[in-house]
Structure 1
Amino acid sequence: MRTPEVSTYTSYGCLFSIMDDRLWPWIYNNFIQITYAHTWGIFAFDNHVRLLSNCPGISYYEIPRTVVDYKWDKKIKNLIIEALEMDYYMYIYVDRYYLKQSSSYQKYPSPHEVLICGYDLNKSTFTIADNLENGKFIVTECTFDEVEKGYWAIKTNYDFMTNIRYLKKKKEYTCEINLPQIIFNIENYLFSKKNYDLIQDQEIDYGFDAYHRLLVDISNAEQSLELDWRGFHLLYEHKILMEMRIKYLLDLEVVSHSSNFLEAIIELKNDFLVLRNLVIKYNLTLNPNILERIKRNLEDNLNRERSYLFNLLNDLKQNVQREYSIL
């Protein structure tokens, strides 16, 4: 495992910490559109719940809880150890109420994903990775008993919270950069258009339309409520990936070297980091004077990003047309 570039949510931290460098073209083709899911109340990359299962560099298998009942006699510890022995990562939901490393420990129920990547029979512990340190993705240990209790404590009709997932890096796969797909995703993000999706079980806002929710949250925070920093952090990580994407496209010479796209996205990335840090500062102090700065910075950053993407789209489309005219 390596330090993930993106880890707003555990699933992203898992993917980016176990992937290899051959997967970057697939990352650059995707991870552009941002959505706001009303029922969950979160900002996320498009197809949030299917990114791991659709990843070309990861073998992904899923079994229902009933199989654990039948084959492992409700002993998920045995299932996990068996899978780890076969070089699989295990990705499951547990209730953080039972995890000593969590701020939710013995306070309130908090079902959440964890990646299990090792075990120690002498200490009766699993090695897990999750956003446990004030939202930071970390690798730590918890006991077999904590995982056992945390998994079986989850009572829900949602299969995705009780199913068991096996993950393994693929040895053989290919993925290439897809410029038309990048253009398509940038346009959908910029113009708030819905990507094709077979399943939509809740109301979802897309692209720049989704950011209206952040402004609503800022207005609500005037009542001395904390802001959900995750949406602001996702905006920052979105720009981290855009900077990496631009560098890659410059190397391929499909973005004009005469442009200042790289310098501009680095500046935007840094400004979104300042914005994210302002939100953290506000949550610590609840100083209402900081809210106006947050709102002003957010609006300014989004306006500059919108202008940036218009220019980038024009440049990319010209390069695509040039490529096809040569063919």
Structure 2
Amino acid sequence: MKKILPITIPPVIGYLHHAYPLSILANEETYLPWFHSNYIQLYCPPNFQNPSRNRTMKFNFYRRPDQRVSFSPYLKVQLLNRDLIFKSPTDILLFIVACIDKGYYVQPTVDEYFLPDSAAYQKRPLVHETLIYGYDNQAFVGMGYNKRGDYASYYIMFSELEQAIVHADLTGHYDPDGLRLFKYDSQARYDFDIHLVREQITDFLHSRNTSHCFRMVANPADGVYGLATYPYLKSYIESFLYSLLSFDIRPAHILWEHKKCMVNRLKYMETQGYLKSEDGFSAQYEELARKTGMLRMMLLKFKITRSPDLIHRVLSNLDDIGEAEQSLLQDLVKKLKTVCDESR
């Protein structure tokens, strides 16, 4: 008894709400026109500096307000209420196996206290989602962050996953339904949208509130967008010197992934004839990605050494990255205007 659905490590893993769907989509290159037309804008809420409300900074790629149910045209998403599906522990195992047999990836909310490969295993309750994409004899195969902090596959016995689901207290949880299904849609189609790319890059450059574009779905979200997020990220990192907020590498990791996404997007645009490699945009962004990766590594080193000098170097480097990116984007937006005008 064995069935394993395709899975891979995607280009964005900083948060699981990106990593899980993209781990499914990135198995096929057909998703690239959609992916390169998205994952451009950055966002953070304005209140991260209040330790009583947020002990970390919610620095992230901008997410549409309907993205929980409409992540990508290539992904069918179903949100289910766990209590309506699972009437007994036996139902849990049979349901997940049946879903996998029909090509569905299963994302249950679990208590990682019961997951052997989790850092929280038998130490503390940690209600979080996981992704199940296969089974082999009496074990499920899942994907998530393990006790070493790596995003990787793991095996969990049927009985262990059953306990993890049964004991997950969803009271006050951000996903109270507790169960989500994903299925790749091979019939979907999305053409690369150069006009959307130009619009989002312009929003990023001028720090425009992209959520205004989705007012028909939800009221605009207050917050900081694009290049204007950099001073907020600096304030957050500087707070490590005074221990005002808990250390979290994810904001710096997301910034690094953003630069790598921009590199891949620009290279894709070169292969599609929108840009030329001699324009130099992808090469310049590769340098920004390299510097952002070094910044991330310095923060990880700071976590161990607590050397204030590392924070000061990170803050200085972040200024340099922001200034270089602003100059680069100004040139890129001018180039994209010409490209878009010619394509009309």
- Which of 39, 42, 57 lines up with 1:34 in the alignment? 42
Deviation sequence 1:139-164 (CA, Å, 0-9, x none): 01122233223223223245624332
* Structure 2 equivalent of residue 81 of structure 1: 97
Following superposition, the deviation at residue 202 of structure 1 comes to: 7.1
Cα 1:48–1:212, aligned 2, differ >3 Å: closer, same or farther?
Answer: farther
Is residue 314 from structure 1 mapped to residue 334 from structure 2 by the alignment? yes
Is residue 116 from structure 1 mapped to residue 132 from structure 2 by the alignment? yes
Name the Cα RMSD after superposition: 2.3
Whether the aligned pair in 2 keeps the contact of 1:132 and 1:138 (CA below 8 Å) is yes
Residue aligned with 2:59, SS: strand
Deviation sequence 1:217-264 (CA, Å, 0-9, x none): 222111257631111111111111111111111122222444211210
Following superposition, the deviation at residue 108 of structure 1 comes to: 2.5
2: CA distance between counterparts of 1:110 and 1:205?
Answer: 29
What amino acid maps onto 1:213 in structure 2? Y
Structure 2 gaps of 5+ residues are 1-6
Following superposition, the deviation at residue 92 of structure 1 comes to: 2.1
TM-score (norm. length: structure 1): 0.90
Is residue 155 from structure 1 mapped to residue 155 from structure 2 by the alignment? no
Moved more, 39-48 or 174-183: 39-48
Aligned-pair identity in percent equals 26
Whether the aligned pair in 2 keeps the contact of 1:96 and 1:105 (CA below 8 Å) is yes
Whether the aligned pair in 1 keeps the contact of 2:118 and 2:145 (CA below 8 Å) is no
- Which of 226, 244, 265 lines up with 1:207 in the alignment? 226
Cα 1:200–1:289, aligned 2, differ >3 Å: closer, same or farther?
Answer: farther
- Which of 23, 41, 58 lines up with 1:17 in the alignment? 23
The count of aligned residue pairs is 321
Whether the aligned pair in 2 keeps the contact of 1:9 and 1:131 (CA below 8 Å) is no
2: CA distance between counterparts of 1:303 and 1:86?
Answer: 50
Whether the aligned pair in 2 keeps the contact of 1:34 and 1:46 (CA below 8 Å) is yes
* Structure 2 equivalent of residue 253 of structure 1: 273
- Which of 182, 185, 189 lines up with 2:200 in the alignment? 185
Following superposition, the deviation at residue 5 of structure 1 comes to: 2.2
* Structure 2 equivalent of residue 4 of structure 1: 10
What amino acid maps onto 1:92 in structure 2? P
Is residue 228 from structure 1 mapped to residue 242 from structure 2 by the alignment? no
Residue aligned with 1:239, SS: helix
Is residue 268 from structure 1 mapped to residue 288 from structure 2 by the alignment? yes
Moved more, 45-54 or 247-256: 45-54
1: CA distance between counterparts of 2:136 and 2:220?
Answer: 40
Residue aligned with 1:151, SS: helix
* Structure 2 equivalent of residue 58 of structure 1: 75
- Which of 97, 106, 115 lines up with 2:113 in the alignment? 97
- Which of 60, 65, 88 lines up with 1:44 in the alignment? 60
Whether the aligned pair in 2 keeps the contact of 1:92 and 1:162 (CA below 8 Å) is no
What amino acid maps onto 1:18 in structure 2? I
2: CA distance between counterparts of 1:221 and 1:54?
Answer: 34
* Structure 2 equivalent of residue 144 of structure 1: 158
Following superposition, the deviation at residue 75 of structure 1 comes to: 3.5
